[in-house]
Chains A and B, each alone.
Chain A
Amino acid sequence: MSIPQTDESTEVFQATGLTKVYRTGDVEVHALRGVDMTLYEGEVAVFLGPSGSGKSTLLNILGGLDAASGGRVIFRGEELTGFDERSLTLYRRRNVGFVFQFYNLISSLTARENVALVTEISDHPMRPEEALALVDLSDRMDHFPAQLSGGEQQRVAIARAIAKRPEVLLCDEPTGALDSKVGIVVLEALTAINEELGTTTAIITHNAAIREIAHRVFYFADGRIASTHINQRRLKPRDVSW
């Protein structure tokens, strides 16, 4: 396995001086205090750090779910931070797949229909069945979320995220609500997709062990990237010791 950030690697995201301030009532929360980072095509990045260190905020801004208070994000040469609402919607629709900690499936739709929700509005999607096969859920396609286990639900969410063949896959604590055995299955699905489709993948986690599967690990603290680590040797999820 090679580390993709060589000279000829293409930059997917380039963030500079990114800040984010939330105001709730009289309180100001500085979620990001100046973040600089670059993500490359095809890499798997893991964001590690305590709660409130700014991981999720960065991921949300990269995914076009939230607006930065300052700084810039360039996505493939275009300034994401300058996008208006409409362009952001199109950006998310064409380029980004999300996986959330609590799956965020629509409970009234079956697994297949949850995936179809995305394929219906994408330009070159795979078929929902194909996406579900990638996460090994072919036999559970017509089940409603309530009939699926947590791991299965998260795999549906992954299938939904990758079905549009996104450029980037952004995962916020994808294994946070799962036990280790099921967590491994989910991570395997993520790495498999990264390998097969070359999707740039960013994973937020509290679980330090998961860093072993990444090309690069970003350590967050207090709204900044405290340090970056490059894994010389990546482990397969099943080889990670939880």
Chain B
Amino acid sequence: MKALDKKLLRDLMSMWAQALAVALVVAAGVATLILAVGAYRSLDETRAAYYERYRFAHVFAVATRAPRGLMKRVLELPGVAAAEARITKNALLDIDRFTQPATGLVISLPSNGVPTLNRLYIRSGRLPQPGETTAVAINEDFAAAHDFRPGSQFKALLGGRKRTLTVVGTVLSPEFIYSVGPGDFVPDDSRFGILWMAEKAVEAAYNLENAFNSVSLSLRRDASQEDVISRLDALLERYGGRGAYDRDDQFSHAFLDSELDQLSAMARVLPPIFLVVTAFLINMVLTRLIALEREEIGLFKALGYGRLAVASHYLKLVMVIAAAGIVIGFGLGTWFGDLLTRLYGNFFHFPFLVFQRNVDVYVISAIVASTSAGLGTVRAVRSAINLPPAVAMQPPAPAVYRRLWSRGAVLLRHVSQLTIMVFRHLMRWPLRAATTTLGIALAIAVLVTSLFPVGSVNFMVDFTFFQSDRQDASITFASETADRVVQNVGRLPGVMVVEQFRTVSTKMRLRHNERRVSIVGRPAGTYLTGDMSQAPDLPPRPTGIDLSRLLNVKQEPLAMPETGLVLTEKLALLLKARRGDLVEVEFLESSRRTVRVPVTEIFQSYFGLSAFMNIRALNDLLDEGAVVTGVHIAIDERFEEVLYGIIKNTPALTAIALRKASLVKFRETMAQNIVFMTGVYSTLGIIIAFGVAYNSARIQLSERARELASLRVLGFTRAEVARILTTELAIVTIIAVPIGWILGRGFAWILIQGFESELYRVPLVIERSTYAQSALIVIGAVVASALIVRRRVNRLDLIEVLKTRE
């Protein structure tokens, strides 16, 4: 081995702590890219493979009742490769040892017993046989939530009759990768299950012999999806078709899409931020590290080594560090990426996972990391290499310091010489002080970016569950029902407040923009049950205590206008609708009229696309009298169990969403996903913070070792000398904190833009505690580094400094 290479190895060993700190910063940058892109691509690929193997349909449609014979014509539609008719119905479930009522989605299996589209992956047991009337296969997570296995039993209200069903198998379906009960926001496997039953049994239960109400199509590669949808709509129109839709409007797919979009946004936004930050940091650290080698560089040149030889020596040193970082980053990134893929894989109930290892990501991250390291080196070596060796071998000429400011002298009279040294040093090298400040600020910014989603989610929870949708439960009726039922619900034990609603599927159009969206009719106010029991026939009147409220952009409650549409900000944006615009509304149910309705208000919501209307105005438009499809209720907790017992046995109800349970579940889900994500990113952020702080302190010590040792010789104590370093670090850190916060907010804003989907958007809310945590973590890292460096101040060799020249 060449002498220079030996020097390189030994140098690396002696500066291992610093080298490791730099390598870890590199590793953090590399790991983010690999983990984010890796997880995204693995999940995307997994989903594609799942869809392919289990023949997930392309187009879906729901009708009221269509004859089986229609299927022949559906299959003849141009572009259709396969079609399958079935019956899907919501049903209330009554499960032993589970107080709350649950909701089931009943799906009929074709008469031959095995679906050709949306095939099922059987986890345990089997599918129900065509002749079995009480056999049911259920989705695995519902089974797991209640510890159901083949042989277990529960009750369900099917078509108004309560039956005991026997589980014969547990399955997974590409159609329900993400399954959410009616009225809920997040999956709750204990309160929502998918039930597959033999066709005959479902037909009989719902009086749909030789009929279907749901159809799935797969299309040929060359088919026009729009064309198929409009032809299918035409076929189903007389049978109560609610408008066919493609995968983009299929809930599970759309949700998965938005989750994957989020992952891909993270992969697009966070790693570049991390990589740019790390590039800057290693550049900064290495530049100063090599600047310290100025005398050695001079010596090498004196000995006859050429520029290239000297530069490549230092480049090698840096590349070894960078390579170590890259390798650690590869390992960490792959590991975290796989963990993340598994976490999401579990969450989405994939039957298998496809891990994608893309060489490009590894190559890109390695190139970015090594290039930034290399550039830092070249820049640093160049300045030393350009000096004549005689000059390079001298310590740099004493820097020219200036008086801080003339009038400041008065102030400085009370400040010790040591403090003046600190200030003069900072001001003499403003660029150096600025880069250190920026480095620490970036570490804070990265932490803010990693930690802030918790605050945003807390805000969404508060906004949605405490400010906006304040009902304890939402009950859906089996069909449109006269609004007298509201009074009946109000008389149930424990029901304190009732608020009726009516949901109608529509297509909304404004100019070229069209969206499938449900209009929810709601009253201008809510009644108290007290009023009803005394005077049951009183017309609804506003009470000022609406259960579900609409809030405007400023979070103030909106009065429900008498007429016109109230759109979410997001929907208004998509339709490009403003207040006063006339939107074309095509009702996909009952009268199926198409009408033009003005937009009267726009409100704020973070979930889904929704539109509201005064329920009376909506019913007038549909020309059907006072009709409701469900009610929101507030429940007196003392009567909860009694009430649930009654609901479980009420045939007219098909689904119930419990808000409190949703909230708990929402928090769990978010906790699971976000805590992991923020955990990973903030760990990487902490590594960066420590890497910057430690290197800054350490380099400062090296740069000023002689000066500091001289002070010791003059009789200053260790503590006094260390204070020079720590004061300087403290000043730099204090300046860095607000800058880091501002940068962090900027990064967070960029990230938020990538999170937005039609299903939900995340508000940019950064809690004070997030700012505080980020700053404290970084300050902690700085203090820890200062302590480590202080130990080195204690070990300064005073004799050596006197012996060597200055």
**A: which residues have CB within 8 A of B?**
24-25, 56, 60, 63, 65-67, 85-86, 89-90, 92-94, 96, 98, 100-102, 104, 106, 108-109, 113-114, 116-118, 120-122, 160, 164, 177
Residues of B contacting A117 in the complex (Cβ-Cβ under 8 angstroms): 3-4, 7, 303
Contact B805 A101 (CB under 8 A): yes
Residues of B contacting A65 in the complex (Cβ-Cβ under 8 angstroms): 301-302, 388-390, 393
Residues of B contacting A108 in the complex (Cβ-Cβ under 8 angstroms): 6-7, 10-11, 14
- A201–B6 CA distance with the chains assembled, in angstroms: 31
Contact A86 B306 (CB under 8 A): yes
Closest partner residue, chain B, to A122 (CB atom) = B304
19 of the cross-chain contacts (CB-CB < 8 Å) are A25-B400, A60-B390, A63-B302, A66-B391, A67-B388, A86-B306, A89-B305, A98-B303, A101-B805, A102-B804, A102-B805, A104-B302, A113-B6, A117-B3, A117-B4, A118-B304, A120-B3, A120-B4, A122-B304
Residue in B391, B393, B803 whose beta carbon sits within 8 Å of that of A177 in the complex: B803
- A118–B11 CA distance with the chains assembled, in angstroms: 19
Would you call the interface of chain B mostly helix, strand, loop, or mixed?
A: helix
Task: Knowing A24-B397, A108-B14, say if A89 contacts B7 (CB, 8 Å).
Answer: no
Residues of A contacting B675 in the complex (Cβ-Cβ under 8 angstroms): none
Residues of B contacting A93 in the complex (Cβ-Cβ under 8 angstroms): 303-306
Closest partner residue, chain A, to B9 (CB atom) = A108
- A63–B307 CA distance with the chains assembled, in angstroms: 17
- Beyond known contacts A108-B6, A108-B14, A121-B305: 18 more, CB 8 A cutoff: A56-B390, A60-B388, A65-B389, A65-B393, A66-B391, A67-B388, A89-B305, A89-B306, A92-B303, A92-B304, A98-B303, A100-B393, A104-B295, A109-B6, A118-B304, A160-B303, A164-B304, A177-B803
Whether B296 sits at the interface, judged by CB under 8 Å, is: yes
Whether B2 sits at the interface, judged by CB under 8 Å, is: yes
Residues of A contacting B307 in the complex (Cβ-Cβ under 8 angstroms): 85, 89
User: How many chain B residues touch the partner (CB < 8 A)?
Assistant: 29
Residues of B contacting A66 in the complex (Cβ-Cβ under 8 angstroms): 388-391
Instruction: Please report which residues of chain B, range 258-307, place their CB below 8 angstroms from some CB of chain A when the two chains form the complex.
Output: 295-296, 299, 301-307
Residues of A contacting B309 in the complex (Cβ-Cβ under 8 angstroms): 121
- A98–B305 CA distance with the chains assembled, in angstroms: 13
Residues of B contacting A104 in the complex (Cβ-Cβ under 8 angstroms): 295, 299, 302, 393
Residues of A contacting B299 in the complex (Cβ-Cβ under 8 angstroms): 104, 106
Residues of B contacting A96 in the complex (Cβ-Cβ under 8 angstroms): 304
Closest partner residue, chain B, to A170 (CB atom) = B302
Residues of A contacting B303 in the complex (Cβ-Cβ under 8 angstroms): 92-93, 98, 117-118, 121, 160
Contact B7 A109 (CB under 8 A): yes
Among B309, B390, B400, B805, chain A packs the most CB atoms within 10 A around the CB of B390
- A120–B609 CA distance with the chains assembled, in angstroms: 74
Minimal beta-carbon separation of B479 from chain A (angstroms): 85
Task: Knowing A66-B391, A102-B804, say if A89 contacts B301 (CB, 8 Å).
Answer: yes
- A13–B628 CA distance with the chains assembled, in angstroms: 109
Among A65, A66, A96, chain B packs the most CB atoms within 10 A around the CB of A65
- A86–B304 CA distance with the chains assembled, in angstroms: 10
Residues of B contacting A63 in the complex (Cβ-Cβ under 8 angstroms): 302, 390
Contact A106 B305 (CB under 8 A): no
Residues of B contacting A24 in the complex (Cβ-Cβ under 8 angstroms): 397
Contact A121 B296 (CB under 8 A): no
Minimal beta-carbon separation of A12 from chain B (angstroms): 18
- A65–B303 CA distance with the chains assembled, in angstroms: 10
Closest partner residue, chain B, to A85 (CB atom) = B307
Minimal beta-carbon separation of B297 from chain A (angstroms): 12
Closest partner residue, chain A, to B298 (CB atom) = A65
Residues of A contacting B389 in the complex (Cβ-Cβ under 8 angstroms): 65-66, 92
Minimal beta-carbon separation of A94 from chain B (angstroms): 7
**B: which residues have CB within 8 A of A?**
2-4, 6-7, 10-11, 14, 295-296, 299, 301-307, 309, 388-391, 393, 397, 400, 803-805
Residues of A contacting B304 in the complex (Cβ-Cβ under 8 angstroms): 89-90, 92-94, 96, 118, 121-122, 164
Contact B306 A106 (CB under 8 A): no
The 7 closest A-B pairs by CB, nearest first: A93-B304, A65-B390, A108-B10, A60-B390, A66-B390, A117-B3, A116-B3
Minimal beta-carbon separation of B606 from chain A (angstroms): 59
- A109–B397 CA distance with the chains assembled, in angstroms: 28
Minimal beta-carbon separation of B797 from chain A (angstroms): 11
Residues of B contacting A102 in the complex (Cβ-Cβ under 8 angstroms): 804-805
Residues of A contacting B393 in the complex (Cβ-Cβ under 8 angstroms): 65, 100, 104
- A117–B398 CA distance with the chains assembled, in angstroms: 31
Closest partner residue, chain B, to A94 (CB atom) = B304
Residues of B contacting A120 in the complex (Cβ-Cβ under 8 angstroms): 2-4
Among A89, A92, A121, chain B packs the most CB atoms within 10 A around the CB of A89
Task: Knowing A24-B397, A92-B303, say if A109 contacts B3 (CB, 8 Å).
Answer: yes
Minimal beta-carbon separation of A100 from chain B (angstroms): 8
Minimal beta-carbon separation of B802 from chain A (angstroms): 11
Minimal beta-carbon separation of A161 from chain B (angstroms): 9
- A114–B10 CA distance with the chains assembled, in angstroms: 13
Minimal beta-carbon separation of B805 from chain A (angstroms): 6
- A117–B11 CA distance with the chains assembled, in angstroms: 15
- A179–B299 CA distance with the chains assembled, in angstroms: 25
- A96–B804 CA distance with the chains assembled, in angstroms: 24
Among B6, B303, B397, chain A packs the most CB atoms within 10 A around the CB of B303
Among B11, B302, B307, B391, chain A packs the most CB atoms within 10 A around the CB of B302
- A98–B6 CA distance with the chains assembled, in angstroms: 22
Minimal beta-carbon separation of B413 from chain A (angstroms): 27
Minimal beta-carbon separation of B428 from chain A (angstroms): 13
Closest partner residue, chain B, to A116 (CB atom) = B3
Task: Knowing A63-B302, A89-B306, A109-B10, say if A114 contacts B3 (CB, 8 Å).
Answer: yes
- A122–B3 CA distance with the chains assembled, in angstroms: 13
- A104–B397 CA distance with the chains assembled, in angstroms: 19
Among B2, B307, B389, chain A packs the most CB atoms within 10 A around the CB of B389
Minimal beta-carbon separation of B320 from chain A (angstroms): 14
Contact A98 B302 (CB under 8 A): yes
Residues of A contacting B10 in the complex (Cβ-Cβ under 8 angstroms): 108-109
- A106–B295 CA distance with the chains assembled, in angstroms: 10
- A226–B10 CA distance with the chains assembled, in angstroms: 47
Minimal beta-carbon separation of A122 from chain B (angstroms): 8
Task: Knowing A113-B6, A121-B305, say if A106 contacts B803 (CB, 8 Å).
Answer: no
- A171–B547 CA distance with the chains assembled, in angstroms: 93
- A67–B388 CA distance with the chains assembled, in angstroms: 7
- A56–B388 CA distance with the chains assembled, in angstroms: 14
- A92–B305 CA distance with the chains assembled, in angstroms: 8
Minimal beta-carbon separation of B629 from chain A (angstroms): 80
Contact A113 B3 (CB under 8 A): yes
Closest partner residue, chain A, to B6 (CB atom) = A113
Closest partner residue, chain A, to B304 (CB atom) = A93
- A15–B477 CA distance with the chains assembled, in angstroms: 108
- A101–B803 CA distance with the chains assembled, in angstroms: 11
Residues of A contacting B6 in the complex (Cβ-Cβ under 8 angstroms): 108-109, 113
- A89–B4 CA distance with the chains assembled, in angstroms: 17
Residues of A contacting B305 in the complex (Cβ-Cβ under 8 angstroms): 89, 93, 121
Residues of A contacting B7 in the complex (Cβ-Cβ under 8 angstroms): 106, 108-109, 113, 117
Residues of A contacting B295 in the complex (Cβ-Cβ under 8 angstroms): 104
Minimal beta-carbon separation of A7 from chain B (angstroms): 33
- A25–B355 CA distance with the chains assembled, in angstroms: 62
Closest partner residue, chain B, to A92 (CB atom) = B304
- A92–B306 CA distance with the chains assembled, in angstroms: 10
- A9–B303 CA distance with the chains assembled, in angstroms: 28
Minimal beta-carbon separation of A165 from chain B (angstroms): 13
Among B2, B11, B304, B803, chain A packs the most CB atoms within 10 A around the CB of B304
Residues of B contacting A92 in the complex (Cβ-Cβ under 8 angstroms): 301-304, 389
- A100–B393 CA distance with the chains assembled, in angstroms: 10
Residues of A contacting B2 in the complex (Cβ-Cβ under 8 angstroms): 116, 120
- A24–B805 CA distance with the chains assembled, in angstroms: 19
Closest partner residue, chain B, to A61 (CB atom) = B390
Minimal beta-carbon separation of A179 from chain B (angstroms): 13
Minimal beta-carbon separation of A147 from chain B (angstroms): 14
